[in-house]
């Protein structure tokens, strides 16, 4: 939970790194070979932080090696939520997958381990 | 019970979220307080092929068998309280399912008091070759590959039907509607269309009913089950209350549960269910409409009560999705038991692969 690494230097006070778990909750599901993660801000003021930092590219990096396709992101400001589609995430899909978590249920909480710069 | 001065509110209770769900739930929904409809979703993609296999061994099977004893238990209550049932328990053999329920009803002395509606037409297995011959390639939505690749191995093929066949059954006076592959959302939307007289083209209303259906389709998953927020303090999950939609003719509705039940209905928990199995949230495509989840407004309006409003929808597409299962080999998961003595040191000899590495590192400590 302590800020690892150096800040980008510009801001005088360095934002504290926190796991997403402290700012959001999540649930995932599956459709074919795509897993989805709905990431929901715990408070309305956290939503813009998620929008800014939890980009599709960052999520793709977070799950590098675990998914074969790209990551798409959709915004649901009305629910304070982001929806990520992780393509090629399930080894062919829930019914044929040899993954332990064949329906991708744990992608949600696995994402909550990602560290981002928390609110100041 | 239908239109004629539409009722201001109808109460639709979810009783099953999957085949094998808690069988007490529908009983408690019927007995725990007033409801108008009990809706039950039994079908997942893989369920259809399991049922088709059962039917190929015995032509009188191919549906959710546990639906029949459940009906036996609650039929007298349903008749007495005028509660209607909509369930896709029919699987790949809805007629046989309906016949079994009818026989049960007669045995209980309810003959003549019960109209059962059956929705068929989703089963495309007998028509597959005809469709292919007509030039429908039936391409896989993930891979884009045509069905001809795997045609010889196909076990089940079912189109997802929407709410309208359910509406038709209700309009013809059915008190129990048993369907094949009707969408999870259609089971809930159907009663709303029937009760409120919604029309094809009322896209916002149809989208609202679709969102209601999506919210309760997984049973307790929107009423505290599986919720990540404050989960340790969610009360009495062993007696979790399954969700109930209180729907209004203008497309607004509340999600709640019976008093005295466990679980919790909050904006946080409901939101988790809303994003579950979500694709593009602005285009939630069903046979009935395209619902826009970015228009949903949620509000906690009481304890265990969340209000939905503002929902917008767009016209349905001109296509139906088909769920096709084909044989792809075997998958088995097993457990090996190692007993004393030397249990921790023995597994590496008996198994292979990455699990061994884990065992290795732990056994070093013993």
pLDDT tens digits along B283-294: 999 999 999 999
Pull the structure tokens for residue B189.
Answer: 């939307």
Asked if pLDDT for residue B119 goes beyond 50, the answer is yes
A69 and B CB contact within 8 Å: no
Quick check: B325 and A95 CB within 8 A?
Answer: yes
Check CB contact of A33 with chain B, cutoff 8 Å: yes
pLDDT of residue B349: 57
Q: What is the overall mean pLDDT for chain B?
A: 92
How confident is the model over B11-22, as a mean pLDDT? 96
| Residues of A in Cβ contact (< 8 Å) with B275 | 27, 36, 38, 40, 76, 79, 81, 83
Instruction: Test A78 with B297 for CB contact under 8 angstroms.
Output: yes
Q: Is it the case that residue B1 has pLDDT exceeding 50?
A: no
B228 to chain A, any CB pair closer than 8 A? The answer is: yes
- B328 vs B300, residue with greater confidence: B300
Q: Give B276's contacts in chain A (Cβ within 8 Å).
A: 27-29, 36, 38
Asked if A75 has any chain B CB less than 8 Å from its own CB, the reply is yes
pLDDT band at residue B6 using 50, 70 and 90 as cut-offs: low
Q: What is the mean pLDDT of residues A92-103?
A: 88
- Burial code of B188-210, b = ≥16 C-beta within 10 A, e = fewer? bbbbbbbbbebeeebbbbbbbbb
At residue B348, the pLDDT reads 60
What is the percent of chain B where pLDDT is above 90?
83
Q: Is B233 exposed, middle or buried (0-12, 13-18, 19+ CB in 10 A)?
A: exposed
B298–chain A nearest CA distance, Å: 8
pLDDT category of residue B196 using cuts at 50, 70 and 90? very high
Nearest to A26 among B45, B141, B228 (CB): B228
Tell me the residues of chain B between 88 and 147 that have a Cβ less than 8 Å away from chain A.
Answer: 141-142
pLDDT tens per residue across span A27-62: 999 999 999 999 999 999 999 999 999 999 999 999
Q: Please give the C-alpha separations between residue B137 and each of B117, B318, B328, in angstroms, as whole numbers.
A: 33, 16, 20
Distance CA B110, CA B9 (A): 28
Question: B293 and A76: CB-CB below 8 Å?
Answer: yes
Q: Give residue-wise pLDDT tens across range A23-36.
A: 999 999 999 999 99
In chain A, the percentage of residues whose pLDDT exceeds 90 is 76
Long-range CB contacts (within 8 A, 24+) of A22-25: A22/A118, A23/A49, A23/A50, A23/A116, A23/A118, A23/A119, A24/A50, A24/A112, A25/A112, A25/B228, A25/B229, A25/B268, A25/B272
Decide if pLDDT at A7 tops 80: no
Residues B268, A109: C-beta atoms closer than 8 Å = no
- Given a cut of 50, is residue A112 above it in pLDDT? yes
What's the pLDDT score for residue A48?
A: 98
Q: What would the mean pLDDT of A72-96 be, rounded to a whole number? A: 95
Flag whether pLDDT at B269 surpasses 60: yes
Q: What residues of A are in contact with residue B297 (Cβ under 8 Å)?
A: 78
Strand B253-256 relative to strand B244-247: parallel, antiparallel, unpaired? antiparallel
Q: Half-sphere exposure (CA, 13 Å, Cβ side) for A21? A: 10
Mean pLDDT of B78-104: 97
User: What residues of chain A, 81 to 120, have a C-beta less than 8 Å from chain B?
Assistant: 81, 83, 85, 93-96, 98, 108-109
Q: Mean pLDDT, to the nearest integer, of B103-126?
A: 96
Reported confidence tier of residue A13, pLDDT bands at 50, 70, 90: low
- Report d(CA B138, CA B144) in Å as an integer: 9
What local confidence, expressed as pLDDT, does residue B44 receive?
86
Q: How many Cβ pairs closer than 8 A exist between chain A and B?
A: 82
Q: What is the mean pLDDT of residues B172-191?
A: 98
Paired with B225 in beta bridges are none
Q: What is the rounded CA–CA span in Å between residue B40 and residue B157?
A: 21
List chain A residues with CB under 8 Å of B283: none
Measure in Å the smallest separation between the Cα of A7 and chain B Cα atoms.
Answer: 30
- Stretch among B139-143, B215-219, B239-243 having the lowest mean pLDDT: B139-143
Given this model, what pLDDT does residue B175 score? 98
Three-state DSSP string of chain B: CCCCCCCCCEEEEEEECCCCCCCHHHHHHHHCCCCCEEEECCCCHHHHHHHHHHHHHCCCCCCCCCHHHHHHHHHHHHHHHCCEEEECCCCCCHHHHHHHHHHHHHHCCCCCCCCEEEECCCECHHHHHHHHHCCCCCCCCCCCCCHHHCHHHEEEEEECECCHHHHHHHHCCCCEEEECCECHHHHHHHHHHHHHCCCCCCHHHHHHHHHHHHHHCCHHHHCCCCCCCCHHHCCCHHHECCCEEEECCCCCEEEECCCCCECCCCHHHHHHHHCCCCCCCCCEECCCCEEEHHHCEEEEEECCEEEEECCEEECCCCCCCEEEEECCCCCCCCCCCCCCCCCCCCHHHHCCCHHHHHHHHHHCCC
Q: Give the pLDDT confidence score for residue B345 in this predicted structure.
A: 76
In this structure, are residues A120 and A14 in contact, taking their beta carbons and an 8 Å threshold?
no
Element (H, E) at A38: strand A34-41
pLDDT at B235: 96
Peptide bond connecting B76 to the previous residue in cis, omega within 30 degrees of 0: no
Task: Work out the pLDDT band at B5, boundaries 50, 70, 90.
Answer: low
A32, A36, A40 ranked by CB distance to B141: nearest: A32
> Is A32 an interface residue toward B (CB < 8 Å)?
yes
Q: What is the pLDDT of residue A72?
A: 98
Which 3 state secondary structure label does DSSP give A4? coil
Nearest residue to B16 via CA among B305, B216, B161: B216
B352 touches chain A (CB under 8 A): no
Question: Inter-chain contact B281–A83, Cβ cutoff 8 Å?
Answer: yes
pLDDT at B355 over 50: no
Q: What is the pLDDT of residue B4?
A: 52
């Amino acid at each position: 939970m302590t800020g690892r690494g150096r800040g980008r230097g510009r801001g005088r006070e360095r934002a504290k790194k926190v796991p997403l778990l402290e700012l959001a909750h999540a649930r995932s599901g599956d459709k074919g070979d795509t897993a989805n993660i709905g990431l929901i801000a715990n408070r309305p003021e956290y939503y813009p932080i998620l929008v800014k930092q939890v980009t599709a590219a960052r999520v793709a990096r977070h799950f590098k090696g675990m998914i074969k396709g790209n990551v798409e992101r959709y915004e649901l400001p009305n629910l304070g939520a982001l929806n990520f589609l992780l393509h090629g995430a399930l080894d062919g899909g829930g019914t044929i997958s040899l993954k332990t978590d064949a329906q991708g249920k744990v992608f949600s909480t696995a994402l909550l381990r990602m560290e981002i710069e928390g609110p100041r | 019970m239908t239109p004629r001065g539409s009722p201001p509110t109808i109460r639709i209770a979810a009783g099953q979220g999957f085949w094998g769900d808690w069988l007490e739930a529908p009983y408690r929904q019927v007995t725990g307080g007033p409801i108008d409809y009990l809706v039950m979703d039994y079908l997942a993609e893989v369920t259809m092929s399991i049922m088709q296999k059962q039917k190929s061994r015995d032509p009188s099977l191919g549906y959710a068998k546990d639906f029949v004893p459940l009906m036996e238990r609650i039929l007298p209550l349903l008749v007495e309280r005028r509660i209607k049932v909509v369930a896709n328990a029919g699987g790949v053999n809805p007629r046989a399912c309906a016949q079994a329920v009818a026989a049960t009803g007669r045995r209980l002395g309810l003959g003549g008091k019960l109209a059962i509606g059956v929705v068929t037409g989703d089963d495309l297995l007998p028509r597959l070759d005809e469709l292919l011959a007509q030039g429908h390639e039936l391409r896989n939505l993930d891979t884009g590959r045509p069905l001809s690749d795997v045609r010889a191995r196909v076990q089940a093929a079912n189109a997802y039907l929407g709410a309208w066949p359910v509406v038709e059954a209700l309009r013809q006076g059915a008190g129990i509607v048993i369907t094949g592959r009707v969408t999870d959302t259609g089971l809930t939307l159907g009663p709303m269309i029937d009760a409120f007289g919604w029309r094809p083209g009322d896209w916002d209303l149809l989208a609202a009913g679709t969102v209601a259906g999506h919210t309760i389709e997984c049973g307790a998953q929107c009423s505290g089950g599986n919720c990540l927020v404050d989960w340790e303090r969610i009360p009495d999950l062993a007696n979790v209350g399954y969700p109930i939609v209180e729907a209004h003719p203008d497309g607004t509705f509340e999600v709640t549960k019976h008093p005295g039940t466990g679980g919790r209905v909050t904006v946080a928990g409901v939101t988790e269910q809303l994003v579950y199995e979500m694709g593009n949230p602005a285009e939630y495509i069903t046979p009935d409409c395209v619902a826009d989840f970015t228009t949903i407004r949620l509000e906690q309006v009481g304890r265990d009560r969340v209000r939905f409003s503002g929902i917008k929808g767009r016209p349905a597409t001109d296509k139906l999705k088909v769920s096709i299962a084909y044989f792809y080999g075997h998958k088995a998961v097993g457990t090996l038991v190692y007993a004393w003595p030397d249990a921790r040191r023995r597994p590496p000899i008996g198994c292979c692969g990455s699990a061994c590495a884990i065992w290795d590192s732990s056994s070093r400590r013993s």
